[in-house]
Amino acid sequence: MAPHRKNRTGRRSPVVSAMLLLVGLLATGGSYALFTASASAETTAHVDNLIDEGQKLFQANCASCHGLAAQGTDAGPNLHGVGAAAVDFQVATGRMPMAASGPQAEEKPPQFTEEQVAALAAYVASLAPGPGIPDESLLTGNGDVTNGAELFRINCAMCHNVAGAGGALTEGKFAPDLKGVEPAHIYEAMVTGPQNMPVFNDLNLTPEDKADIISYLMFIDDKSNSPGIIDLGGLGPVSEGLFVWIFALGSIVGITVWLTAKSN
Amino acid sequence: MTVEATRTAADRDARITTEDEQAVPPGRGMRFTNWAANYVDERTSMSGFVREFGRKIFPNHWSFMLGEVALYSFIVILLSGTFLTFFFQASMTEVTYEGSYAPLKGLDMSAAYASTLDISFDIRGGLLMRQIHHWAALLFVASIGLHMLRVFFTGAFRKPREINWLIGFVLFVLAMGEGFTGYSLPDDLLSGNGLRIIDGMVKGFPIVGTWMSNLLFGGEFPGTSVVGMFYSLHILLLPAVLVAALGIHLVLMVVNKHTQFAGPGRTNDNVVGVPILPVFAAKAGGFFFIIFGVLALIAATVTINPIWAYGPYDPSPVSAGTQPDWYIGFADGALRLVPPGWEFELFGFTLSLNILAPVLVIVVFLVLVAFYPFIEGWITGDQREHHMAQRPRNAPRRTAIGAAGVTFYAVMWAAASSDLIATHFKLAIEGVTHAIQLLLILGPIIAFVLAHRICIGLQKKDREIVLHGYESARIVRLPGGEYIEVHEPLSEYERWKLIDFDDYQPLMLRPNDRGRIPVMQRVRAGLSRWFFEDRISPVTNTELEAAKHGGHH
């Protein structure tokens, strides 16, 4: 096919295609600019409202630890510059507000609705520039799973375990299980480095790399790493060893007792 | 009703012929069988062999089948392993994976890992076979462990079975060696991390360590030869030695006869049970398929060692929750329990006590296990043959030693999963480690004292029941107004089980022919006293008679 096409001389000059493409792009771009410009006044007002609401929520729920202006106190860190990503991660997973002080903030059912989380995030983001909520295009799970899996093994597995089952850190802290975590929260965690997690900035892992890692995690979540029915929590030889002693050997000892029982 | 054949030492070599067989003329099938048997016997003289093995008596007790579980899981391992050798490539040559598991596609990896992935995803039945092989391996070592515990706690290792205990121990070590080499073959991240620990342990040996590691890995770790070498060991040398040792183990079991628990009609000179041919052989054949079935069911439903999740080996990443298979866990745990700072520099050499100390502890522990029958035999000075299995309570010191040993092993084993204990019980890992370190010392002591007390208590209870019967829960009011609970006497059968056990006395210190008492004799007598000074003697006939005719209460 290809050589045939190369030799073909068409009705149109090759310039026409380029021109058409240019016109198309201009039209789309122009109309997009027009629409967004006309909407911007409304959006600004909406954002201002959101920030106000966020400030109220913040002062009612967060200020006792983080201070009235989010400047931080002895009980909680300064939030200037943590960005909307940190707020969305901490609040939408229920880690903040903390139920009790402990080695680290634990996941629990979130205390705020999505709108309230968005308001809080908008408020904190308005204080100082910081990482924002990731773009939807990075969270589709259509990235390169091979690259994602390799990056995960190199960067994440030493704490989160190769199967993403989580692991222990020092002093009662731990890396949580990654099963069923929202892609956006995984991305935000990488960008903001919550609790003991290091920050993986965009020089470290490009947004595409992060999208690949998320794709890998979505792949193993979706397909499950276990072709059988039971995967024993992805915890490796410890759960396999317990299984063989309790269930395999247990059932076989049961069978030996049955085989040697005296018939009545 | 099962037919129980009793076999005494006296009729050991008596010919097994019955009058009935000669009275009835044989049918056509029987004639063929006779002819075939005769044909084979005339050319091989097998009949003596068949008679000896076919008439081996197996007493009926569930705990006597644990060794069989090990044997049958070994057969399952051989069968499934043979299937795996058809497709596994024991080579560390780099290839690019193009199989069907998406998250590894296009990645460079060793041929060993790629072929294991192919077995798991692209070869029909491959994953099932891999999982059967691995589950059977875990069950093999677990059943060996349980079998050893049964033999230990019933005293079935005493004369004449000490050598067979030693061979069994060699089998246990070989099984662990087989397991570890097999675990290393897929060349995935988990097995590579395991090998890295072995590499570190080898390098921890002063002076020779580095050279030994170089020899093992053909240069700097991980090298390109270890998988091929482990494969040869795993499928050739270790199984060959294992099968040979297993053969001797089984022959000695036939030669020594089987032990049995005390009961009516059972003495030290007979074995009561069913012969191998035909009853036991049929039962055992069925049991083999039950074990195979259980393993197949587990392998079909429960994932084991998902190597695709671990990725190809790369020395840089180490995953959280990296553990060896359970039977190596105690060694991993011993390493984890070493407190920080046990590394010293002497004359420019690093002395890695953080590695040498746990290795020494493990070696001493294993040597004690291997030679326990000889140690106990020396302490007790017992030269008698023992064919009656003891109830653990009737050997309180040994049971206590066993409980302490099991605790020691279990604590080290638990230490290998300290990180998982910490995350799953929401504890700090430092707290878990310190608690386990403490338990490693205190646990065996507590277990020893507790087990000993419990044994003595149970013996006292047995004695009480034999002499005064069991409490029938029937309360009777006497004419005088007194209430008593009626004690029912035991039946003769039940009583026999409780009173038929060996009585030991501490060794007497006697001067030798030069009129001296050597130090070793003093040590021996001291140990013997420690072994037997707290003991409950079996009920004697006189006591029994006295209890029968004496006052009831």
Over range B16-45, report the average pLDDT: 77
pLDDT category of residue B548 using cuts at 50, 70 and 90? confident
Instruction: Write the DSSP assignment of B498-515 as a string of letters.
Output: HH------PPPP---TTS
Query: Which residues of chain B lie closer than 8 angstroms to A174, CB-CB?
Result: 422-423
| pLDDT reading at B23 higher than 90 | no
Half-sphere exposure of B140 (CA within 13 A, CB side): 26
* Predicted confidence (pLDDT) at residue B16 exceeds the cutoff of 50: no
| pLDDT higher than threshold 90 for residue B293 | yes
Cα dihedral B244, B249, B252, B254 in deg (nearest 10): -110
Q: Kindly report which listed range (B245-249, B352-356, B510-514) carries the lowest average pLDDT score.
A: B510-514
Q: How far apart are CA B427 and CA B425, in angstroms?
A: 6
In a domain? residue A263? no
Chain segment B112-161, per-residue pLDDT in tens: 999 999 999 999 999 999 999 999 999 999 999 999 999 999 999 999 99
Residue of B412 and B534 predicted with greater confidence: B412
pLDDT of residue A35: 62
pLDDT at res. B497:
85
Contact B317 A157 (CB under 8 A): yes
Do B490 and B353 lie in a common domain? Answer: no
Nearest CA in chain A to B308: A225
How confident is residue B551, by pLDDT bands cut at 50, 70 and 90? low
Among candidate residues A84, A117, A133, the one where a domain is terminated: A133
Whether the pLDDT of residue B20 is over 60: the answer is no
Instruction: Please check the confidence at residue B19 and state whether its pLDDT lies above 60.
Output: no
Q: Which tokens hold the place of A169?
A: 């850190």
ipTM above 0.85, yes or no: yes
CATH code of the domain containing A98: 1.10.760.10
Tell me how far apart the alpha carbons of residues B188 and B406 are, in angstroms, rounded to a whole number: 32
Which of the listed residues A100, A133, A166 is the one where a domain comes to its end? Answer: A133
Query: Do B110 and B18 fall within a single domain?
Result: no
Residue contact A236–B321, C-beta within 8 A: yes
DSSP alpha helix (H) spans, A62-166: 63-66, 83-92, 114-127, 145-155, 157-160
Q: B22 CA to chain A: closest CA distance, Å?
A: 32
Q: Average pLDDT for residues B467-475, to the nearest whole number?
A: 88
Q: At B505, give phi and psi (nearest 5°).
A: -120, 150
Chain B residues with CB under 8 Å of A159 CB are 320
Predicted pLDDT at A34: 62
- Which residue, of A118, A133, A148, is where some domain finishes? A133
| Contact at CB, A228 and B283, closer than 8 angstroms | no
| Domain identity same for B103 and B26 | no
Q: Which residue of B has its CA nearest to A156?
A: B319
For chain B, the domain total comes to 3
Residue numbers in B near A248 (CB within 8 A): 135, 138-139, 142, 294-295, 298
Confidence of residue B13 (pLDDT cuts 50, 70, 90): very low
Q: Per the domain annotation, does A125 fall within a domain? A: yes
SS3 call for B97: coil
Same domain, A59 and A106: yes
pLDDT band of residue B350 (cuts 50, 70, 90) is: confident
3-state SS assignment for residue A113: coil
% of chain B surpassing 70 pLDDT: 95
Question: Which of the residues in chain A have pLDDT under 50?
Answer: 1-3, 6
The confidence score (pLDDT) of residue B1 equals: 35
Min Cα–Cα distance to chain A from B160, Å:
26
Residue B185 lies in a domain: yes
Domain-embedded: residue B135: yes
Mean pLDDT calculated for residue range B523-532: 88
Cα–Cα dist B225/B230, whole Å: 9
Which of B303, B311, B318 has its CB closest to that of A226? B303
Nearest residue in B to A175, CA atom: B423
The secondary structure of chain A in percent helix, strand, coil, rounded to multiples of 5, reads 60, 0, 40
Same domain flag for A96 and A180: no
Task: Indicate whether A168 belongs to any domain.
Answer: yes
Residue B276 reports pLDDT greater than 90: no
Residue A78: what pLDDT?
Answer: 92
- The pLDDT of residue A10 is 57
Q: How many CB pairs under 8 A join A and B?
A: 192
Where residue B208 sits, what CATH number does that domain have? 1.20.810.10
What range does the domain containing B357 cover? Answer: 54-390
Name the band, by pLDDT with cuts 50, 70 and 90, for residue B280.
confident
Mean pLDDT, chain B, whole residue set:
89
The model's pTM is: 0.86
Do both B23 and B80 map to the same domain?
Answer: no
Say how far apart CA A157 and CA A169 lie, in whole Å.
13
Q: What is the pLDDT of residues B482-497, one digit of tens each?
A: 998 888 888 888 888 8
Q: Are residues B493 and B348 in the same domain?
A: no
A44 with A122, same domain: the answer is yes
pLDDT, position B18 = 45
- Nearest CB to A166 within list B66, B310, B423: B423
The mean pLDDT of B395-409, rounded to a whole number, is 96
Residues B27 and B58 in one domain: no
A38/A122 same-domain check: yes
Instruction: List the domain range (segments joined by +) for residue A177.
Output: 137-221
Same domain, yes or no: B258 and B328? yes
